[in-house]
Chains A and B, each alone.
Chain A
Amino acid sequence: MPRTGVFVCWCGINIAKTVDVEGVAAASRSLPGVVHAETYKYFCSEPGQNLIKEAIWEKRLDRVVIATCSPSMHQATFREAAQAAGLNPYLVQIANIREQCSWVHSNREEATGKAVALVTAMVAKVRRDEPLQAFTLPVNRRVLVIGGGIAGMQAALDIADAGYPVVLVEREPNLGGRMAQLSETFPTLDCASCILTPKTAEVARHPLIELLAYSEVREVSGYVGAFTATIARKPAYVDWDKCIGCMLCQEKCPRKTPSDFQRGMGPGKAIGVNFPQAVPNRPVIHREHCTYFQTGKCQVCARICPVDAVDFNQAETTQEKQVGAIVVATGYEVVAPDQFGEYGYGKYPDVIDSLAFERLNSSSGPTDGVIRRPSDGAVPKEVVFIQCAGSRDPDKGKPYCSKICCMYTAKHAMLYRHKVPDGQAYIFYMDIRAGGKRYEEFVQRAVENDGALYLRGRVARVYPEDGRLVVKGVDTLSGQNVEVFADLVVLATAAVPSGGAPGLAQALKVGTDEHGFFNEAHPKLRPVETLTRGIFLAGSALAPKDISESVAQASGAAAKVLALFSREELLADPLVATVNESHCSGCFWCRPTCPYQAIEEKALRDRQVATVNAGLCQGCGACAAACRNGAMKLRGFTDEQLLAEVNALCL
């Protein structure tokens, strides 16, 4: 028979007011195995913890039940105290008589009766507890960063600078992500390339960063400290090791195509890089645009290449990387605005989205930084910006605020005025959300210095008239319908998760919200962690974010990775499932219930049985409920323990 001690806390008057704590202690003295029971005002305090420790020594207790607040409050405190007194911490159980008893009941007799029942159940449970040791997992101190935008690069650099190797995977042929497409950044108006390209260069030459561009993560298995990622390298049809980056191929390629990077405003080629400062500075052949792949004739690039790097037979290759942690920084895209028929996107060439306006502003863009409208190349004299195109629109678009649009639209209005001093910018908006350091001042500058005209209201229709566009909307401040003649209409379209995010979320077994953004472990207190240990998040993969927030979060994710890497071994919770092999019939009904693929097959002499990979197991117990033979046992929540609790509570 174990020697159990019961400690009933008063919690000042929080418990003692409603529950007769002395009565609970007295009742527990007659429970089987209980050799000691006492009460105290605050067991969580230092003298309270000392009382527990002394009782463990003096009464030679080998089990402890503390009737007190919720285990989420002080279970860890009491387990540490017990451990300090030489007792295995997993031989301590909490009976929650505050949150789930004294605070929710007012009848003293009933509350005391319930408290006795809860203590009885815990005494029955703790009797069946075994001493457990947290087990150790070795940590592979190399990290996989998925996404080479500003967030991914920042995380990669922070971790590599701390001395740990990084595998950085980027889906596109070059680093930079969305930021590479931007012209200037708010609220400083410094050019995006000028602050981005030093970072891309630093990533490329860092000895501890292995850059896998034009690659995608296909599969991830394993667990914290020991993940295996399968990474596919898409065929570039150019041998990047041979290539010297002269870009003669791009120059000579006869096939002109609309470039996705330039938001369809050209000029792209079937072979080449997205922009001149691309890192790595290596071209890819876009198979769908290439004349050779379409007709079997051409091969101009192959003939012109001085180092014979073009290889039309290149195929996808995959490789496996072993890493200890993963940072997901897959960023965002903008929603295709053609679903908003009233704005005429896709129908009228002079209705563009704001990423296209960034390209028009960019000196590496299709117009070399001169703002010209797509239809006829004329410099627009009046430009209408429409904010919340698809954001804050639960009916047709996304219900959330895309967060960055108010600021970049103010920036667009300013940049436009700087380039076209006699031009006029009109901005239709719902609200201006300019929270952030020097953000509100920035918007005010657009209004006061650069004459941006803000109209509060929605746009109902955009239609062409005499070679211009008519924007019909309402100004809700004056209550008037307004019509603006515009040469160019720019839609601030909603930000949505990157196209690769759903597949990646599935491979990582990490949750997303209803819009496909990755879910953090806790929205306030654990904003860069996921619920899967060892997988972290940064940047717009979680929700739309501006550059400074993405960078801050990336450094936060890097700090979490470094904390993980600060030890050679990790301590893992021992409350995992184990198999009683002599009872296991090898039916594997448990297997489909496991969300972590932790159940593996093990060959005995005469049959196959289930075995649990303790590194993968998260201790949910789904397998234990599915097991028909009772062979699967979840430590800390065994059938015997839970049935003992049931029995005790039904007394």
Chain B
Amino acid sequence: MSLTWEPKIVGFACQWCTYAGADLAGTSRLQYPATVRPIRVPCSGRVNPAFVLRAFQRGADGVLVAGCHPGDCHYTTGNLFTRRRYSLVKRFLEYLGMEPERFRVEWISAAEGKRFAQVVQEMTADLKQLGPNWKMRETT
């Protein structure tokens, strides 16, 4: 591991809230580490746990699933399923031995560009402490 190792974070962002919030971080020129690779989804409720597992298997060091605040879902109830589903997935990942910091579910509205930048900063700092994901990464 070189000294300049940077973690890789796959970030699922709902297009109505978090993706727009990340856009706002851009228009506000907030700076955050280039560690996050966003994937735009219509709703955080679209994110199948299989996607999260695939990301870890392919070597992502962290995964973020982010959507509208509960109660503010563009589709009324999508993020409520996200909340329930990922409280289970989080426990499952911990059961597998993954450090809890590697997987986060966040509610970031279209107005919270600052929050998006902050989450990426926090996650990057945590992952730098933890080092790369060796646990689930497929050996090639």
Contact = CB atoms under 8 A, between A and B. Distances in A.
Interface in B57-83: 58-60, 74-78, 81
Interface stretch (A175-183, A285-293, A326-334, A614-622): A614-622
Q: Which of B54, B55, B76, B77 has the most CB of A within 10 A?
A: B76
Contact of A99 (B22, B58, B78): B22
Contacts of B31: 104-106
Interface in B98-124: 117
Contact of B26 (A98, A511, A642, A643): A98
Contact of A621 (B23, B41, B85, B117): B41
Interface string A614-651: 00001111101110000000100101001101110111
A135 interface: no
A71 B48 contact: no
Contact of B51 (A575, A622, A646): A646
Interface stretch (A111-119, A428-436, A463-471, A492-500): A111-119
A64 interface: no
B39 interface: yes
A194 B33 CA distance: 66
Contacts of A625: 45-48, 81, 85
A649 B37 contact: yes
Contacts of B34: 101, 104-105, 107, 110-111, 113-114
Nearest to A519: B72
Contact of A650 (B46, B50, B60, B81): B60
Q: Which of B22, B45, B47 has the most CB of A within 10 A?
A: B45
B26 A621 contact: no
Contact of A626 (B23, B38, B50, B81): B81
Contacts of A299: none
Contacts of A593: 45, 77-78, 81
Secondary structure call for the A interface: helix
Q: Which of A111, A121, A595 has the most CB of B within 10 A?
A: A595
B26 A639 contact: no
Given A72-B20, A99-B22, A121-B37, A104 B30 contact: yes
Contacts of A107: 34
Contact of B37 (A71, A114, A643): A114
B48 A620 contact: no
B54 A622 contact: no
B85 A118 contact: no
B98 to A, nearest CB: 15
A624 B46 contact: yes
Interface string B18-45: 0010110111011111100111111101
B22 A100 contact: yes
Contacts of A531: 74
A96 B40 CA distance: 10
Nearest to A634: B46
A103 interface: yes
A646 B55 contact: yes
A98 B27 CA distance: 9
A509 interface: yes
Nearest to B22: A100
Given A99-B27, A100-B26, A625-B81, A620 B20 contact: no
A71 B76 contact: no
Nearest to B10: A649
Given A593-B81, A618-B75, A647 B54 contact: yes
Interface of B: 6, 8, 10, 20, 22-23, 25-27, 29-34, 37-43, 45-48, 50-51, 54-55, 58-60, 74-78, 81, 85, 117
Interface of A: 70-72, 96, 98-101, 103-107, 110-111, 113-114, 117-118, 121, 509, 511, 531, 575, 593, 595, 618-622, 624-626, 634, 637, 639, 642-643, 645-647, 649-651
6 contacts: A100-B26, A595-B75, A625-B45, A637-B41, A646-B10, A651-B58
Given A99-B22, A100-B26, A647-B58, 7 more contacts: A99-B25, A103-B29, A625-B47, A634-B42, A639-B51, A643-B51, A646-B39
4 closest Cβ contacts across the A-B interface?
Answer: A99-B26, A621-B46, A650-B58, A620-B75
